[in-house]
Amino acid sequence: MNSSFVVLPGGTITTPKGFQAGGLHAGLKKTERRDLGILYCEVPAAAAAVYTLNVFQAAPLKVTRDSIAAGAGKLQALVVNSGNANACTGEQGEADARAMRHLTADALSIAETLVGVASTGVIGEPLPMAKVERGIAGLPAALAANSGDDFCEAIMTTDLVQKSLCVRVETSAGPVHIAGAAKGSGMIHPNMATMLGFITTDALVTSADLQGLLSEATDASFNMITVDGDTSTNDMVVAMASGLAGGSELHPGHPDWKAFADGFGYVAEYLAKAIARDGEGATKLVEVHVAGAVNEAAARAIAKTVVGSSLVKSACYGADANWGRIVAAVGRAGQPVNPDTVDVRLGDFLVLEGSRPVPFDDPAATEYLKGTEVQIVVNLHMGTASATAWGCDLTYEYVRINAAYRT
């Protein structure tokens, strides 16, 4: 734990000053679980966002991007639905996303350009707008400062658990808070995934500086996870800063910026790891740390290749200490690797040194791999750069879930 911030037990996306949230069941899912959520700030908040790199970008992403641009980097509300991605739905899909923005703005009596839209669920099906319209009409009554959990439930699809965290950062002017909520379980791969992430803070920070921080944090967190190698059409992470904590404006030259950035990065990493841990059908979190790379880009590429390997993931599920699969993934990552200098560890078990196998306690390593967290460490001995990626094992359950996703 970094001493510059503390985790607040029970803290939610609404803990930072000025934020409220809510969720309700609008009938977009077959279950009775909440499927429409709202995140609201009592003042226009500095906003930043990152989006999927998939060429097929869903309509809500376009609308949110337009809102942030038209609103001079400000958002005041985000409306989010689960159960329907509103992706690959043509002109009607974009019209529906804009209608969601308009309806939400009217319900909250704010400008349309201060509303962002996010959707997640099945691709290629039109939104049932009659249900959406009725649901949005009920969102203002669902808003509350203690409804962060309702919001978390409303954004979930195949997720098994809610994913949220809040930290407090001590600054020279007093405490500021950073909180996050996310969803994601399948169709998860670096360069964003079928995930939605929302980060709130009451720090005073400009949209430009918040964008820089979000992009940096995303590269080290959300872009370093994988479940199944598929990058979605709907991924988006949005950050909002109310500025209501008071104090001077935080910026990269401010003496408190590092503490703020550390707390922000920790929230992003926690949410990213929570998504990987909750991968569809997963039984364990897999962490791959690559050290000794020639540069950070190489370290990241190798770590993501190893953690995304179906063979490595299968070996983790089967508790098979088959380090050959790890080496094969390292070698096909397309990055500089000296085939004579690689070390590999499974937890505390050194299994390869200088690219040569070494004796290790196989039964004990198998027991280690049966745990709920597996760490793989690869040292290339070529430089000083390092990176960490997160994923999960590949199980029979993943196939069962995705073979019947629409049913």
Query: Catalytic positions, please?
Result: 194
Can you tell me which residue has the tokens 């996306």? 13
Q: What helix, strand, coil percent values describe the chain, rounded to 5?
A: 35, 30, 40
Say which amino acid occupies 23: G
- Count the Cβ atoms, other than its own, within 10 Å of residue 161: 11
Burial of 359 (0-12, 13-18, 19+ CB in 10 A): exposed
Distance CA 132, CA 83 (A): 11
Distance CA 199, CA 180 (A): 4
In sequence order, the 6+-apart residues with CB closer than 8 A to the CB of 76 are 40, 41, 43, 44, 45, 108, 110, 111, 114, 115
Burial of 139 (0-12, 13-18, 19+ CB in 10 A): buried
Can you tell me which residue has the tokens 């790890």? 326
Containing 134, the helix (H) or strand (E) segment is helix 129-142
In sequence order, the 6+-apart residues with CB closer than 8 A to the CB of 116 are 47, 49, 63, 64, 67, 68, 75, 77, 78, 79, 101, 238
